Chain A
Amino acid sequence: MNMALPDVIQIIREHVRTIPPRMIPLAIAIGLGLVMALSLLLPHRAPPSPLVGRILPSFMLPRVDDIHKSLMPRDFYGQPALLNVFSSWCVPCRAEQPLLMQLSGKVRIYGIAWRDTAENVSAYLSETGNPYQAVALDKIPVTTVTLGIFGVPTTYLVDEKGVIRAKWDTPLDQQMIDKELLPKLEEIQANAKK
């Protein structure tokens, strides 16, 4: 049973013509239902953060290890780096920590402890290991608005000029690291060498 495409179109067209108009709402509703069902099944991506492509917004936060030192966007210049916003009370952050430990060999990681205290952060880091170059404390928190954080963990990839190149507002997993983070990092490093 081989039919040419124009024949098939002709047949469909005839069938469509015989559909009474009162069937049309049902057909549209079925289509709409399918659209919504598919959108539930397909993986969902958030719209890109407006911060991506912009320079890291200014902040100055005291460091956990020494409150007389501070962390600020200047620290990010020179080499690409990750900025990981976490909390000692956040369970997904705890799950993410071993992956960050692995990553810390490949790229500098800075941490911001969000809505947290110095004691809790120190205890947390001694328990899970410390992948960070430096950890700053955001007690109040002031970075919520400037960095657009609506939950922890949130991770930013910042290039050598201090420009945010990617943002993840979900915990990182191995797949995201292999497929998104590392390729982007390599791209940034290759560009920096040129």
Chain B
Amino acid sequence: MLGELGLLCVIVAFACTLACALFLTTSKRGDYAGLIAGCLRVAAALTLGALTALMGARVWDDFSVSAVAAHSNRALPLLYKIAGSWGAHEGSMLLWCAVMACFAAVLSRQARNELVLTALCVQAALLAGALAFVLFASNPFTRQIPPPLDGQALTPLLQDVALAAHPPMLYLGYVGFSVVFSLACAGLWHKRLDSDWARMARPWICVPWAALTLGIGLGSWWAYRVLGWGGFWFWDPVENASLLPWLAGTALLHVSRVLEKRGMLAAATALLAILTFAMSLIGTFLVRSGLVTSVHSFASDPARGAYILGYFAVSVGGALTLFAWRAPGGPRPQPLSREGVMLMGAVLLGIACATVLLGTLYPMLAEWLGEGGIAVGALYFQMTVLPVLGLCVVLAGLAQRLRWERDNFSRLAPALVNPALATLAGGLIVLTLATREVALAAVCIALAVWMVAALLFRPRARLSVMLAHGGAALVILGMVGAGLWQSAAHGAPGQALKLGPYTAIYEGMEPVLGPTYHGQGARLRIEDAHGMVLGSLTPQLRMYDGGEHVATPAILPRLWGDIYAVATPEGVELRLEPLIYALWLGCALAASGGLLALRRR
């Protein structure tokens, strides 16, 4: 029953949104504002209802619904029965629609505004397209008769708390940017891309940006805690898919500030609004079409890829045609002014985004060029993207001390003395104290200090900017710690393992038994240099009921970083991950900064 109810919800929601989208063809939308707003609210309620129906089918183990049978089973803990609803392709697309509809419903409160009404119709068209995809290409409620007695196991790696929250956060970001896309289309259409537009669009930029930041952080935290590789970012195509809209969105966030404050850069704002959503779509396309091979390819179906590509062509192609037709002109900002530097930063972020996109698509291109299947490694991204982002950090600090409109060097120079001294001090401290990768680490830490110092020495700095830029500085710190200063040691059972100031003493194997797995754990006693016991770690080799083997790491957090142990077939591997928590802390801080930017002055 629940399945049919869910399907019915999707069908009616599709009809509602299609009806709203048809109002794009008439200019007398104003007379039907109430109807359009109502339809979108109904659609939001219905898509949420459909999502609830899918959750219900999973909670009550209705294995006649094939999406349930494929990714849920009786033994699965309740949390993952619910959270797993959006783990697989069909459910995640439903979540995508639900988030989009909810954003539209919130926007519909301002439906009396002519501009917002047009944006609502654009949003309805986007939503209708997404719902059609759910209905025709990835129906989560397909029945299979006779139903199996029990479903397939949910991939054990996905059974994790961080991963239960990661997809909704990511989608809140991905899909959230659809609203500012719609607003940009409406703004282009009505030729009203001005300060008022930027003020109205601000929440629709800040909230998705914060959610995406948090979502990427959660995903990285999950990879660190669950995958047992001890890393936090692998430049995997699926990870890049989330980085693309983040880079474009960050550029949009800053450029829209200039539009709000100075009424400039309207064209750049509109273009970035369109591109950010386009990057979200490309990300979805890459993940869902299976074109790029990835450690987490979920679903690969060329028909779905073709549909998403068609959706991309119509929405982004349409918006960019509108842009080509009606892009507003405007004065260029002075190079030495806050808006000038912010524009430069946005351009750099755009370059970084294009570089990531190129690296992600390159394996595909290389295949046509006859170079055979190749994979683009982390080295490419580290050598191309990170320097560009480093330059962005320099500009981010500089922009704090610059004045709007125009500035001059004679005023600027004294204002930069204090931050520059702090930066120099930070770099020198690292140069003297660090033992590994000294030069690179010093540059990175100096950048982080610069970003914060420029803010701290600035009078009347906004709290939101402080949090966001402070968060970014913390992320740099975490990257230096975990990327440059990480150290590892391997050992066989029975040995005492020495790593830095710590010693790990093997105390024996113990059996572990969980709700869906059993296995072995190697208990390690961790002692510091003075022989004081700090705690014990039990990295496990788990065998899940579905037959998968997973090496689950164990982590002992310390003030200066994590002690990370993972069981390997040969014994155990112990790693020191200095300062790695700064990464997740930084993401959370930056996200809270993004949310704080909602506050009116």
Stretch of A71-79, A119-127, A139-147 with 4 or more beta carbons under 8 angstroms from chain B = A139-147
For the complex, is B317 an interface residue (Cβ under 8 Å from A)? yes
B278 contacts A29, C-beta separation under 8 Å: yes
**Which of chain B's residues 350-364 have a Cβ closer than 8 Å to chain A?**
361, 363-364
Which 10 residue pairs of A and B lie closest in terms of their CB atoms, listed nearest first?
Answer: A47-B373, A22-B327, A26-B320, A23-B324, A39-B364, A26-B324, A45-B373, A47-B375, A25-B320, A29-B320
State in angstroms the CA–CA spacing of A116 and B321 once bound together: 57
Residue of B nearest to A19 (CB): B324
- Verify if B313 is at the interface (C-beta below 8 Å from A): yes
Judge whether B500 is part of the interface by a CB distance below 8 angstroms. Answer: no
Is there an interface contact between B361 and A22, defined as CB atoms closer than 8 Å?
no
| Residue of A with least CB distance to B316 | A29
Among B125-133, B302-310, B428-436, which stretch is in contact with chain A?
B302-310
Task: List CB contacts (< 8 Å) of B541-575 with chain A.
Answer: 543, 547-549
Q: List 30 A-B contacts (CB under 8 A).
A: A22-B267, A22-B324, A22-B327, A23-B324, A25-B275, A25-B323, A25-B324, A29-B278, A29-B317, A30-B317, A33-B317, A35-B365, A36-B309, A36-B312, A36-B361, A37-B309, A39-B291, A40-B289, A40-B302, A40-B305, A40-B306, A40-B309, A44-B367, A45-B373, A46-B293, A47-B363, A47-B373, A115-B547, A141-B547, A145-B549
Given contacts A33-B309, A38-B368, A145-B549, contact A44 B320 (CB under 8 A): no
Closest to B317 in A: A29
Also in contact, A25 and B291, with CB within 8 A (given A30-B317, A33-B313, A47-B375)? no
Consensus secondary structure, chain B interface: helix
Chain B interface: which size bin?
Answer: 35 or more
Contacts of A26 in B (CB 8 A): 317, 320-321, 323-324
B543 to chain A, nearest CB (A): 8
Instruction: Answer yes or no: B537 CB below 8 A from chain A CBs.
Output: no
Point out residues on B near A: beta carbons under 8 Å: 267, 271, 274-275, 278, 282, 285, 289, 291, 293, 302, 305-306, 309, 312-313, 316-317, 320-321, 323-324, 327, 361, 363-365, 367-368, 372-375, 543, 547-549
Least CB distance from B351 to A in Å reads 13
> Measured between alpha carbons, how far is A40 from B327 in the docked complex, in Å?
32
Is the CB of A42 closer than 8 A to any CB of chain B?
A: yes
Closest chain A residue to B320 by CB distance?
A26
Give the distance in Å from the alpha carbon of A184 to the alpha carbon of B274 in the complex.
50
- A145 CA to B543 CA, complexed, in Å: 13
**What residue in chain A is nearest B290 (Cβ atoms)?**
A44
> How far is B305's CA from A175's CA once the two chains are assembled, in angstroms?
26
Question: Shortest Cβ distance from B221 into chain A, in angstroms?
Answer: 25
Tell me the smallest distance from the CB of A27 to a CB of chain B, in Å. Answer: 9
In the complex, chain A residues whose CB is within 8 Å of the CB of B374:
47
Interface residues of A in 31-57 (CB under 8 A from B): 32-33, 35-40, 42, 44-48
A97 to chain B, nearest CB (A): 23
Chain A residues within 8 Å of B365, by CB: 35
Q: Which residues of B contact A20 (CB under 8 A)?
A: 324
| Interface pair B324/A45, CB less than 8 Å apart | no
A141-B544 Cα distance, complex, nearest whole Å: 12
Are the C-beta atoms of A48 and B372 separated by less than 8 Å? yes
Q: Which residues of A contact B375 (CB under 8 A)?
A: 47
**Considering only CB atoms, which chain A residue lies closest to B297 in the complex?**
A150
Instruction: Tell me the bound Cα distance from A159 to B205 in angstroms.
Output: 58
Give the complex CA separation of A52 and B543 in angstroms: 28
In the complex, what distance in Å separates the CA atom of A30 from the CA atom of B318? 11
Residues of chain A within 8 A (CB-CB) of B363 are: 47
A19: shortest Cβ distance to chain B, in Å?
9
Closest A residue to B274 using CB positions:
A25
> Which residue of chain A is the closest to B278 with respect to CB atoms?
A29
With beta carbons under 8 angstroms apart, the residue of B313, B323, B367, B548 that contacts A22 is B323
Residues of A in contact with B (beta carbons under 8 Å apart): 20, 22-23, 25-26, 29-30, 32-33, 35-40, 42, 44-48, 115, 140-141, 144-145
Whole-angstrom CA separation of A90 from B215 in the bound complex: 37
Q: Which residue of chain B lies nearest to A26 when distances are taken between CB atoms in the complex?
A: B320
Which among B275, B312, B321, B368 is the interface contact of A33 at CB below 8 angstroms? B312
CB distance from A16 to the nearest CB of B (A): 15
Compute how far the CA of A4 lies from the CA of B302 in the bound complex, rounded to whole angstroms: 42
Q: B313 touching A46 by the CB < 8 A rule?
A: no
Smallest distance from the beta carbon of B310 to chain A beta carbons, Å?
9
Whole-angstrom distance between the Cβ of B354 and the nearest chain A Cβ: 9
B364 touches A140 (CB 8 A): no
| Residue numbers in B under 8 Å from A22 (CB-CB) | 267, 323-324, 327
A36 to B361, CA, bound (A): 9
Instruction: Report the separation of the CA atoms of residues A78 and B203 in the bound assembly, to the nearest whole angstrom.
Output: 70
Instruction: Across the interface, name the chain A residue whose C-beta is closest to B551.
Output: A145
Q: How far is the CB of B350 from chain A (nearest CB, A)?
A: 11
Q: Is the CB of A45 within 8 A of B367?
A: yes
Q: Which residues of B contact A33 (CB under 8 A)?
A: 309, 312-313, 317
Pair B291/A40 contact, Cβ less than 8 Å: yes
The distance from the CB of B539 to the nearest CB of chain A, in whole angstroms, is: 17
Beyond the given A22-B323, A40-B289, please list 9 additional residue pairs across the A-B interface where CB-CB is below 8 A. Answer: A29-B316, A33-B309, A33-B312, A35-B361, A36-B309, A37-B309, A38-B368, A140-B543, A141-B547
Q: In the bound complex, do residue A36 and residue B323 qualify as a contact, i.e. CB atoms below 8 Å apart?
A: no
Query: Whole-angstrom distance from the CB of A58 to the nearest CB of chain B?
Result: 11
* Nearest residue, chain A, Cβ from B300: A44
Residue of chain B at shortest CB distance from A29: B320
Name the residue on A nearest B292 (C-beta): A39
Chain A residue at smallest Cβ distance from B364: A39
- B545: shortest Cβ distance to chain A, in Å? 12
Enumerate chain B residues within 8 angstroms of A37, measured Cβ to Cβ. Answer: 309
Q: B55 → chain A, closest Cβ, in Å?
A: 29
Minimum CB–CB distance for B303 against chain A, Å: 9
Residues of B within 8 A of A36 (CB): 282, 285, 291, 309, 312, 361
Contacts of B316 in A (CB 8 A): 29
A36 vs B290: C-alpha distance when bound (angstroms) = 12
On chain A, the residues within 8 Å of B320 by CB distance are 25-26, 29
Name the residue of chain B whose CB is nearest to the CB of A20.
Answer: B324
In the bound complex, residues from chain B placing their C-beta under 8 Å from that of A23 are 324
Min CB distance B298 to A, Å, is 13
| Docked CA distance A33–B321 (Å) | 14
Whether A25 contacts B271 in the complex (CB less than 8 A), given A38-B368, A48-B372, comes out as yes
Nearest residue (CB) in A for B357 is A32
CA distance A20 to B326 in the complex (A): 12
